Amino acid sequence: MPLSVPETGTVERRTGPQIIAGYLKTLPSAPGVYRMLNADGDVIYVGKARSLKARVSNYARLGGHTNRIARMIISTASMEFVTVRTEAEALLLEANLIKRFRPRFNVLMRDDKSFPYILVGREHAAPRILKHRGARNRKGDYFGPFASAGAVNRTIGMLQRVFLLRTCSDSEYENRTRPCMLWQIKRCSAPCTGEVSLDDYGKQVDEAVRFLRGESQNVREKYQQLMTEAADNLEFERAAKYRNRLWALAHVTADQTISAAGIEEADVFAAHQEGGQICIQVFFFRTGQNWGNRAYFPKADRTLEAGEILASFIAQFYDDKPIPRLILTSHDLPERELMAEALGTKAARKVEISNPKRGAKTDLVAHATENSREALQRKLSESASQAALMKGLAERFDLPHPPRRIEVYDNSHISGTNAVGAMIVAGPEGFAKNQYRKFNIKSETLTPGDDYAMMREVLTRRFKRLAAETVNAQSKTGAQPENELKHAEDSQDRNLETVPTRPDLILIDGGAGQLAMARDAMAETGIEGIAMIGVAKGPERDAGREHFHFPDEPRPRMLEPRDPVLYFVQRLRDEAHRFAIGTHRSKRAKGLSANPLDEIPGIGQTRRRALLRHFGSSKAVSRAGIEDLKAVGGISAEMAQKIYDFFHEKRG
């Protein structure tokens, strides 16, 4: 239950230790989670404790702490507490709150993208196999996680070859009149047209599910038996079919970059620290197979040991992911048994956490550790190269300091249709793709194809948002205490964060006209102090002869043809162009595939399917009379009138 602390009633600003000491009288000696907040009410640290009173009493004095803890104490203006029943519950709640509030003094996962899964959907009589991301709330069997979409696609392709499962959507399935190409190339058994009975197809699905659950040996033995029986009965074509499935199974089980002999289900976590940064590699093993790996670079204080960072990372990692029965780590975790208890409680079964010292499991951990070391060294090397490019950019373009956030803008359309604007972001560590933004052009008065007006709309919307963020930031900064520890804290955070929210440099894809329009948009929103450059292609659109337009400079500048900074700017511009084109194509494809029936209120998937099955196409539906529409199952007289009015009002 939450604990409330009465207001002190004093207006005198007190230091962190004094404020913290004021909570001790009301704190129980029970397990719980505490939050430290600064003067603005932002959560700066979340921690858990076996005894809240004992833990918080350690913060009531300033001496004897590391610099990180001392900065945290001085920044604390208030605290909040939640008591729980056990320390294991406190650990789980702590991980959840860290992910929610992202406090600056905690270890933070920088990349928390969802993992893809394989879903065998059970919503249809002929189950479909597909890639799935997000909440697992659809009816069916889930298998994963996989480290990448590529790993999922490869596995689904294998399952198609071996078990001949369908991947088409339900609407495609319902509207097939003859088998598709996948049936012809022996990747699907075509239950849609009755080439295989639903009972036999269901058996194929069950075999695929057993294989994904790790029963590959049972599936292999069954196919060997069926192949032998078919050969004995001189049914050589059927025997060849099972032989091909056995070959596909052998290929899958042999195609492993790392051996996981004796391990059916485990995750391997390996950490490597170097240069004040840390990389954590996560390998996934399911059904005795390696389902890929992913590298993480969490934000953590330089003074923390690898084991501490790894423990906090693992607790946050499993906040929204399935927990395996075995977790292998490269470092011995502090409170390892408590972590295992907490994860076991969450998974509702026993979970083992091990730091192996001998045997086959040590090879898995060693392999993951080597991958972690190599990934961190690549990142450090790339960061050094990126820093040199940022410094060179500042020197060539007379910027006051190397930019930490560069925003590049571009537009894409075809004769003004499906117009979109795109913003890409680059920072000290390269492209920050999680901060890319797309803008659907909304202005109804805009002349189709007017690139200047489109860019003006995009930049005006961006600068308005930036102006609002700037006002909020300034209001918060005014309440911040100024002291040496605060400055040290800010300096360290600047080194750890990837990119800030405010750009230091804006690149516009265009010449002097586009740049002037962009400056007007910036001035209208009151934004100041951001460098802006127009990047125009050279004569005959020749890459390498770009002209750089600067405000208040009548003549553009050029860079040497082999200047690395020129290549860097070209890369930025090309990335913006790629993102803009991709966004435009996606929008255009959605428009082409849109079904007008979807726009009619009350027409869901069932009624749409019935209409298409009856008339053959949405165009035929639009031409149908009211009596013809009423003849369709599930279409009442009122609904038939709605459908008729929808199409005929549009025509008029």
DSSP string, 607-636: HHHHHHHHHSSHHHHHH--HHHHHTSTT--
Taking each helix axis from N to C terminus, what angle separates 216-232 and 236-254, rounded to the nearest 10 degrees?
A: 160
| pLDDT tens string 172-215 | 888 888 899 999 888 899 999 999 999 999 988 988 888 777 66
Is the per-residue pLDDT at 362 higher than 50? Answer: yes
**DSSP character at residue 39:** T
Of 21, 25, 47, 27, the closest CA to residue 36 belongs to 47
pLDDT confidence tier of residue 543, bands split at 50, 70 and 90:
low
Cα-to-chain-centroid distance, residue 347:
23
> Is residue 325 helix, strand or coil?
coil
Contact between 616 and 443 under an 8 Å Cβ cutoff? The reply is no
Rounded to 5 degrees, what angle do the CA atoms 447, 451, 457 make?
80
Q: Among 197-206, 340-349, 411-420, 501-510, whose mean pLDDT is lowest?
A: 411-420
Instruction: State residue 241's pLDDT score.
Output: 72
Residue 47, strand partner residues: 34
Residue 640 reports pLDDT greater than 70: yes
Burial code of 295-331, b = ≥16 C-beta within 10 A, e = fewer?
bbbbbbbeebebbbbbbbbbbbbbbeebbbebbbbbb
Domains and their CATH numbers in the chain: 2-101 (3.40.1440.10), 117-254 (no CATH), 265-378 (3.30.420.340), 406-591 (3.30.420.340), 596-651 (1.10.150.20)
113 Cβ partners below 8 Å, 6+ apart?
none
* Residue 550: predicted pLDDT: 92
DSSP annotation of 333 reads: P
What average pLDDT does the segment 556-575 reach?
89
Cis peptide before 145 (omega within 30 of 0): yes
For the segment 503-508, the average pLDDT, to the nearest whole number, is: 92
The DSSP symbol for 392 reads H
Most confident of 113-117, 275-279, 490-494: 275-279
CA distance 171 to 128: 12
Q: Which H or E run includes 35?
A: strand 32-37
Distance CA 600, CA 12 (A): 63
Confidence of residue 8 (pLDDT cuts 50, 70, 90): very low
Report, as an integer, the average pLDDT of 33-49.
Answer: 93
Angle at 519 between CA 465 and CA 423, to 5 degrees: 50
Higher pLDDT, 479 or 287: 287
Between 585 and 370, residue with greater pLDDT: 370
Cα angle for residues 222, 224, 226 (degrees, 5° grid): 70
Q: How far apart are CA 160 and CA 244, in angstroms?
A: 12
pLDDT of residue 538: 67
CA atoms within 13 A on the CB side of 182: 20
